[in-house]
C-alpha cells in the first residue's frame, strides 16, 4: 500500500514536532510544511528535507497531500480545516478544535459528507497511562484532575481553559459513561487578558463528580488524575505515564491494610502514537479514537466553563481588567 502523503500546516513549537514525527512513521511520507513565517518555514523544511511554503493554497496545489496536521493558532483552525476538507484532504486539527461550537458542527457535517477522517489532537488520550486506565476503570465515583505549570508566553490567543483544561475535560468525558448535568467554575487572570487559573466542578447524571484545577502560573509542575471507585483509588501521572492503584484489604493481625499496585504496561511517545493512529485511520478509512464529535463535546463543556467563570465575581473582575 502506498504511504499516506501528509503535510503540516503551522510549524511552531508543536507543529515542528508533528513534522518530525511524520518522518519517523511507517506508512506516512511528509511531503511539505507550511508556516506564515517564511524564515521559520524554510528552516524547518530544510532540516527535514521537504518543501516549505508560506501560502497554504500553494502547498495544496504543489504537494497534493492526502492528509494534514493543522497546528496553527486556534482562531485559524476553522478556516484552514475547511479549506483542507473541501479539497478532500483528511485532517488532524489540534485542540481546541475551533473557537466556537457552531464552527465545530460545520466541520463535522463537511467531514461526514465527504467521508473524510477528521481527528482532534487531544494527545493526552494517547498517553499510555490513560489508555491503560480506560481499560480498567468501571464505575468512577469521583475524579480529580490537576494540571499546573509555570507561565509561558508561547500561548497568547486563548486562556488556560482552552489551552490546558480542555485536555482534562476530554479525558473525564471519555471515562464517565453518563450525561453531564451541571457545571460550575471560577477563575482569575494573573499575567494577561485571559484566565490563567481555573477550577471547574462537573456533576454527572449517575452521581459521578469531577473537579478540574488548571494553572499556567504555578511554580510547581503537576499533571495528575485521581479516580475514586468503590473498592480502589487510582492515580495517573501524565508526565511519567505511571499508574498506581490503592486498595484496603482486611488483615487478621493488623486490621485494615493498604495495598498499592503499580501495573506494568508498554509506554510510548503520546504524539507519535496519536499520529500513527491518524495515519492508520486514513489508510483504513475508520473513525479515529478522538473524533470531531469528541472534540466538539469537549469544546461545548469548555465554553460553558468559560461562561461560568465570566459569571463569577472573579470573572467579572477579569472582564473589567
- The tens digit of pLDDT for each residue in 196-209 reads 999 999 999 999 99
Residue labelled with grid coordinates 492503584: 245
What confidence score (pLDDT) does residue 314 get? Answer: 59
Q: Are 211 and 199 in contact (CB under 8 A)?
A: yes
Considering the domain 125-268+301-320 in this protein, what is its CATH number? 3.30.360.10
For residue 49, name the pLDDT band (cuts at 50, 70, 90): very high
pLDDT in tens, 175-189: 999 999 999 999 999
**Cα distances (angstroms) measured from residue 23 to each of 9, 29, 107, 149:** 15, 7, 28, 30
Would you mind telling me the total number of residues written for the chain in this entry? 321
Q: Which CATH number fits domain 4-123+271-290: 3.40.50.720, 3.30.70.1350, 3.40.50.10440, 3.30.565.10?
A: 3.40.50.720
Q: What are the residue ranges spanned by the domains of the chain?
A: 4-123+271-290, 125-268+301-320
Amino acid at each position: 500500500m502506498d504511504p499516506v502523503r501528509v503535510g503540516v500546516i503551522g510549524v511552531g513549537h508543536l507543529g515542528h514536532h508533528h513534522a518530525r514525527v511524520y518522518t519517523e512513521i511507517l506508512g506516512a511520507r511528509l511531503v511539505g510544511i507550511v508556516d506564515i513565517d517564511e524564515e521559520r518555514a524554510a528552516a524547518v523544511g530544510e532540516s527535514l528535507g521537504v518543501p516549505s511554503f508560506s501560502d497554504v493554497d500553494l502547498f495544496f496545489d504543489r504537494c497534493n497531500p492526502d492528509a494534514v496536521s493543522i497546528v496553527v493558532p486556534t482562531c485559524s483552525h476553522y478556516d484552514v480545516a475547511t479549506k483542507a476538507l473541501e479539497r478532500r484532504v483528511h485532517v488532524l486539527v489540534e485542540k481546541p478544535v475551533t473557537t466556537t461550537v457552531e464552527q465545530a458542527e460545520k466541520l463535522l457535517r463537511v467531514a461526514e459528507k465527504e467521508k473524510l477522517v477528521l481527528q482532534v489532537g487531544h494527545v493526552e488520550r494517547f498517553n499510555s497511562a490513560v489508555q491503560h486506565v480506560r481499560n480498567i476503570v468501571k464505575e468512577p465515583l469521583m475524579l480529580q484532575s490537576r494540571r499546573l505549570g509555570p507561565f509561558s508566553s508561547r500561548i497568547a490567543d486563548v486562556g488556560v481553559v482552552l489551552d490546558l483544561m480542555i485536555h482534562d475535560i476530554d479525558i473525564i468525558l471519555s471515562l464517565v459513561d453518563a450525561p453531564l448535568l451541571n457545571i460550575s467554575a471560577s477563575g482569575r487572570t494573573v499575567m494577561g487578558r485571559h484566565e490563567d487559573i481555573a477550577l471547574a466542578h462537573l456533576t454527572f447524571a449517575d452521581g459521578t463528580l469531577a473537579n478540574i484545577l488548571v494553572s499556567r502560573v504555578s511554580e510547581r509542575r503537576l499533571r495528575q488524575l485521581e479516580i475514586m471507585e468503590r473498592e480502589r483509588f487510582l492515580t495517573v501521572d501524565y508526565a511519567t505515564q505511571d499508574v498506581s492503584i490503592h486498595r484496603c484489604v482486611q488483615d487478621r493481625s493488623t486490621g485494615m491494610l493498604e495495598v498499592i499496585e503499580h501495573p506494568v504496561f508498554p509506554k510510548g511517545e503520546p504524539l507519535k502514537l496519536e499520529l500513527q493512529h491518524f495515519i492508520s485511520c486514513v489508510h483504513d478509512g475508520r473513525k479515529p479514537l478522538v473524533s470531531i464529535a469528541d472534540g466538539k463535546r469537549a469544546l461545548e463543556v469548555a465554553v460553558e466553563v468559560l461562561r461560568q467563570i465570566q459569571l463569577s465575581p472573579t470573572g467579572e473582575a477579569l472582564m473589567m481588567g
